[in-house]
Amino acid sequence: MLDISRIQAITLDLDDTLWPVRPTIHRAEARLQQWLAPRAPGTAALFTDEALRKGLRDRVHEQWPDKHHDLSLMRLEMIRLGLLQCGEDAALAEPAFAVFFDARQEVVLYADALPALQALSARWPVLALSNGNADVQRIGIGHLFCGSVSARDAGVAKPHAGIFLAAAERLQVAPERVLHVGDDAALDVLGAAAVQMQTAWVNRDAHAWSHAVSPDLTVSDMAALCGQLGL
C-alpha cells in the first residue's frame, strides 16, 4: 500500500504515461520520409517498407551493442545506414535526424496529463524519467519539472537500477522517499521497486497484473493518481 507520508519527490515516465507515443513516432517518421523524398528518394522509399526498416534497425543494434539505450543515436545511425545502403549522401543524416527529432517533440497530451502535472509539481519536485528522447522543455511542459534523467543521460535504460538511482541522486532524495509513476509494468514498476522506490502504475488500458511484485498503487489515469494522493 502506498504511504503518502514517505513521498518527498516524484519521478515520472513520459511516453504512454503523459501522451500516446505510437502516433507521435508515426508522425515523426512520416515527416522524415517527406523531408527525404526530394533529397534522398531511395532512402525515403526504403523507410516506407516496414521489413526493410526493421532490417536496418537490427543492423544498427549489431553495430552499436552498448548503445541500445540511446534512442537518438540509434535513429541517427539508422538514417545514416539507410543513406549509405541506397548510395545517397550520408551527410544528410544529421539534418534528417533533426527533422525527425523536432517532430518527435510534437506530442498530444492525454486530457488528464497537464492538470495532473500542475497539481503534482505544486506539491513535490517532479523529475522526468524516461527511456525515450522526448524533451519536456521543447514540448512546453518543462516548467512543471525540476529536471529530467533519460536513459541516454544515465547510460542505462529502465528497468536497470542505475537509471532510478541516478534520478534519486539528481533529486537528492533517498530512493525509498521517491514515488515513481509510469505505465510499463516491468520497466517502471518492477525497476523502481527493485531500488525501494514506491510505485504507481498508470494502467490506462486495464491490463491484468502478472508479476510477483505488485505496485503500491494502480490508477486508470493521472487524474485518478492525483485523487489517490489527495490533490
- Convert the pLDDT of each residue in 71-123 to its tens digit: 999 999 999 999 999 999 999 999 999 999 999 999 999 999 999 999 999 99
- Judge if 121 and 224 occupy the same domain: yes
- Judge if 100 and 158 occupy the same domain: no
End-to-end C-alpha distance for the chain, whole angstroms: 18
The rounded mean pLDDT for the chain is: 97
Q: How many domains does the chain have?
A: 2
Helical axes 71-85 vs 50-63, angle rounded to 10°: 110
- Judge if 146 and 208 occupy the same domain: yes
- Judge if 144 and 77 occupy the same domain: no
Do 6 and 176 touch, CB atoms closer than 8 A?
A: yes
**Of 59, 83, 104, the domain-final residue:** 104
Please, which pLDDT band fits residue 126 given cuts at 50, 70 and 90? Answer: very high
Query: pLDDT of 36-59, one tens digit each?
Result: 999 999 999 999 998 999 999 999
Task: State the DSSP H helix or E strand holding residue 138, giving kind and residue range, or none if neither.
Answer: helix 136-139
Task: State the DSSP H helix or E strand holding residue 27, giving kind and residue range, or none if neither.
Answer: helix 21-36
Whichever domain contains 162, its CATH number is: 3.40.50.1000
- Judge if 45 and 72 occupy the same domain: yes
Containing structural domain, residue 190: 4-19+109-228
Q: How far apart are CA 179 and CA 203, in angstroms?
A: 16
